[in-house]
Amino acid sequence: MLNSEHEAVATNLLKKMSLRQKIGQMAMAERLSVEPADVKRHGLGAVLSGGGSHPGGNAPEDWVRMNDAFWQAAMADDDAPGIPILYGCDAVHGHNNVQGATIFPHNIGLGAAGDARLVAEAARVTAREMLDSGLDWNFAPTLAVVQNCRWGRTYESFGNDPERVASYGRHYVEALQAEGIIGCVKHWVGDGGTRHGMDQGETTLPWQELESTHVAPYYPALQAGVMTLMVSFNSWNGEKCHGHRFLVTDLLKERLGFDGLVLSDWDGVNYLDEDYGTAIRLSVNAGLDMFMVPERWREFIDALEAQVRLGHVSTARIDDAVRRILRTKLRYGLFDMPRPAQRRGAGTGCTGSAEHRDVARRAVRESLVLLKNEGGLLPLGRHQRMLVAGKNAHNLGHQCGGWTRSWQGETGNDTLEGTSIWEGIRELAPHAQLSADGTGEDADSREHEVALVVIGETPYAEGFGDIRSGDALVVEAGSTVNGLMNPLEPYARSLELAESHPEDLACIRRIAAKGIPVVVVLVSGRPLAVGRELAASTAFVAAWLPGTEGGGIAEVLMGNADFKARLPLPWPGDADPDGAWPLFPAGYGLSYSRGGCGLLGA
Ligand code: GLC
């Protein structure tokens, strides 16, 4: 619904703006490539932090100081109309860039938890911690409907059920925006449906299937008034979404009536044409409004101005894009807000608070899926003599995964504040012992009556997490594979965990061979083929990427809470190329109370 006062203000501003000032609003620069003075001189519309890009010190107050400088520059009195600047970042599982933040389970774990209200709670906490940093805009939620767990961004999806993704997307957006942060649904459209799960690859589907699986999950969030949307790197039936006029203008803007701001992804225009001006023309004319051009923002402004002067882009299209940007800033109340340092939510000190961590720990408890529990080995007894082993038992970086403090994630415990799985166990089981080097070499059936082995993946983000083999290693024409953001060398070439991380199976077998029953906890961004690990263990739990509150896992393993979660997508068998025949179906999950198969409704 348009606000006539906002439209009048936007009209008035447009009349005062030069073409370059209008185009400046269409540019989003990365913080490392822009000074506050540039923001004023070029009238930039927004600044972002890419994954892990943070101001020195990286405390909330450092973020406030940083955005305050950009905002002050944008509003400095001089001849150009003062248009306040937006600052955006990827707070995709909590305010994951900033030191000391509460890190939630990634979306795949929230999808397993199956509770839309929990998703809303996570969004509220994330918003409060972003406001504490003086920020405005979150490039979340991801509304990908993952179809192939080889995809490196599987963990950013709520799962493979379009209706669940639709519901969680709406709940997340409503809570985030109600708390005072602009939402951004992404990536439009079909990012989870690419061939072989290749990130930024080709989604080949008839319109009916694209609509029912990948477009429909956006409807509730659009109807709920999400203010921005980000276009996807992938292509649909051979045409890049960043240049797709039907998807962006005909469908999104005209048929669905989206009147907010359409944002490109990171240099997403680059892949439309080798000539930068042509690439920009194609994307602007397709209907994108603001362009994430982290380093090339000067070149972008010059190139788009040239395209307009040449008549290849109409001034009407420029005015439409800038009106949408101004409308979004007016809707958000940005023109009426004080500078970031004086905003109500800034500097509250809520980042990483005990209250927020309690919410995240509940999310951890409710995200765990019990896949096997022979002989009722679980729950563990608090006085059991237990050995805790495995590379992911005491590693906050691994349990948080990608998009945590750095783009590709961290390893170890030095850079994050939270509770590792081992630390959670130690709090509840006084006789537990941590294996010296994590390998379980020190297991001894005379000392240990049970072992907990925490295994799985090491952190990755985006294409760096793809699992590719065979013809999926062939660079497709027009794909972005083998580019900076999407390397040809994948995380692994097989879904089998024992291929990519043989140390895990070795650890389980080493301990089991001594007659000690093993409980396995898998820390991973997705289902993996773990037939051998399952066979060697007595109990097996999928923990996804739980975040900083590993204590939630200990609470469930020790029986202080029951398993609730169900698989948010099918779990592949061993010789399963693309998840065609699952070992466990979506909806599977055991629990202490039921004991049997936890299929939904059973
Ligand atoms: C990345 C991602 C997108 C993110 C953006 C900014 O390439 O595709 O999800 O919001 O860049 O970090």
Question: What DSSP string runs through 545-580?
Answer: ---SBTHHHHHHHTTSS------SS-EE-TT-TTSS
Q: What was the pLDDT predicted at 596?
A: 45
Vertex 273, ends 272 and 275: CA angle to 5°? 140
pLDDT (tens digit, 9 = 90+) per residue, 524-537? 999 999 999 999 99
0.95 exceeded by the pTM?
yes
User: What does the alpha-carbon distance between residue 270 and residue 277 come to, in Å, rounded to a whole number?
Assistant: 10
Q: Quick check: CB of 266 below 6 Å from ligand 1? A: yes
Residue 54 pLDDT > 70, yes or no? Answer: yes
Torsions phi, psi for 420 (to 5 deg): -75, 165
For residue 576, the model assigns a pLDDT of 59
C-beta neighbour count of 449 within 10 angstroms: 16
Residue 227, by phi and psi: left (phi above 0), alpha (psi -120 to 50) or beta? alpha
Q: Whose CA is nearest to atom 7 of ligand 1?
A: 266
Q: What is the mean pLDDT of residues 215-240?
A: 98
Tokens of 251: 């469908």
Indicate which residue of 462, 533, 555, 576 is catalytic: 462
Whether the predicted pLDDT of 294 surpasses 80: yes
The arithmetic mean of pLDDT across residues 560-586, rounded, is 85
pLDDT score of 277 more than 60: yes
Backbone angles phi, psi at 338, to 5 degrees: -75, 175
Q: How far is the CA of 12 from the centre of ligand 1 (A)?
A: 33
265 ligand 1 Cβ < 6 A: yes
> Tokens for 111?
């999808």
CA of 383 to the centre of ligand 1 (A): 46
In angstroms, rounded to a whole number, what is the distance separating the alpha carbons of residues 305 and 322?
14
Q: Which of 38, 136, 161, 265 is catalytic?
A: 265
The rounded Cα 382 to chain-centroid distance in angstroms is 35
Task: Report the distance separating Cα 537 and Cα 532, nearest Å.
Answer: 9
| Burial class for 224, CB neighbours closer than 10 Å (0-12, 13-18, 19+) | middle
Ligand 1 pocket test target in 90, 231, 234 with most atoms within 8 Å of CB? 90
HSE at residue 32, side-chain half, CA atoms within 13 A, is 10
- Taking residues 483-497, report their average pLDDT: 85
Cross-sheet strand order for the sheet of 518-523: 369-373, 539-544, 518-523, 450-456, 386-389, 433-434
Our answer on whether the CB atom of 483 is closer than 6 Å to any ligand 1 atom is: no
Q: Is 139 in the pocket of ligand 1 (CB under 6 A)?
A: yes
Q: Is 64 helix (H, G, I), strand (E, B) or coil?
A: helix
> How many angstroms separate the alpha carbon of residue 265 from the centre of ligand 1?
6
Confidence band, pLDDT 50/70/90 cuts, at residue 80: confident
Confidence of residue 579 (pLDDT cuts 50, 70, 90): low
**pLDDT of the residue at 78:** 73
- 277 to 38, 162, 263, 305, 306: CA distances (angstroms): 22, 37, 18, 9, 8
Nearest protein Cα to ligand 1, atom 10: 139
- Residue pLDDT, tens place only, 341-368: 999 999 999 999 999 999 999 999 999 9
Predicted pLDDT of residue 577: 59
Q: What is the mean pLDDT of the chain?
A: 95
Residue ID of nearest Cα to ligand 1 atom 8: 265
Determine the distance separating the centroid of ligand 1 and the alpha carbon of 281, expressed in angstroms. 22
Ligand 1 atom nearest to 184, measured from its CA: 10
Whether residue 265 lies in the annotated active site: yes
Tell which atom from ligand 1 comes closest to the C-alpha of 88. 6
What is the share, in percent, of the chain residues with pLDDT greater than 70?
97
- Band the pLDDT of 602: cuts 50, 70, 90: very low
Q: Is the distance from the beta carbon of residue 51 to the nearest atom of ligand 1 less than 6 Å?
A: yes
What per-residue confidence (pLDDT) applies to 587?
97
**Contact between residue 369 and residue 542 where contact means Cβ atoms under 8 Å apart:** yes
* β-sheet with 291-292: strand ranges across: 137-138, 86-89, 46-49, 27-30, 291-292
Which of 539, 542, 518 shows the shortest CA–CA distance to 529?
A: 542
- The alpha carbons of the chain give a radius of gyration, in whole angstroms, of 24
595: three-class secondary structure by DSSP: coil
Dig out the tokens for 273 from the structure. Answer: 């044409």
Strand-pair category, 27-30 with 46-49: parallel
Q: What is the pLDDT of residue 601?
A: 34
Mutate to test the pocket of ligand 1, among 139, 241, 262 (most ligand atoms within 8 A of CB): 139
248: phi then psi, degrees, rounded to nearest 5: -90, -45
Residue 304 clears pLDDT 70, i.e. is over it: yes
The confidence score (pLDDT) of residue 472 equals 82
Distance 262 CA to ligand 1 centre (A): 14
The pLDDT of residue 222: 98
